[in-house]
Amino acid sequence: MEPSLQCARGLNSVWYAYTAAADGVVVIDTDGSDYDTLIDVWTGQLTADLMEPGFEQLTPLTCNDNTSTSMQAMVSFETKTDKSYVIRVMAVGDAPAGTLRLTVTSD
């Protein structure tokens, strides 16, 4: 079972792995998606085993439901070189998912 969200309730998750190439700040947003999104970020890694993905090994880092101007989500967080992060994007509440546009930028 997936871990609960820190900032909202959602369905239809998509998970991404991210390993920082350097210390810095990463900004992730869903601007341009055609449904109400939320993002949460965890430190740690998931396994390739679909039955035992290792959710219990993740530590919550940040979460966002809406930006101040839209129903899209945006998070920013500090990274450390070679540290692993897991990003989850979900549709808010019971709303169906649509086309996701995910942008990841780092300094």
| CATH code where residue 42 lies | 2.60.120.680
* C-alpha to C-alpha distance for 57 and 104, rounded to whole angstroms: 23
- Residue 67 in any domain: the answer is yes
Question: For residue 57, what are the domain limits?
Answer: 10-106
- Residue 1 in any domain: the answer is no
- Residue 79 in any domain: the answer is yes
Tell me the residue type at 63.
Answer: C
CA dihedral angle for residue 74, residue 79, residue 83, residue 85, rounded to 10 degrees = -10
Which tens digits make up the pLDDT trace of 11-20? 889 999 999 9
> Model pTM greater than 0.85?
yes
Which tens digits make up the pLDDT trace of 19-60? 999 999 999 999 999 999 999 999 999 999 989 999 999 999
Query: How many residues does the structure list for the chain?
Result: 107
- Residue 5 in any domain: the answer is no
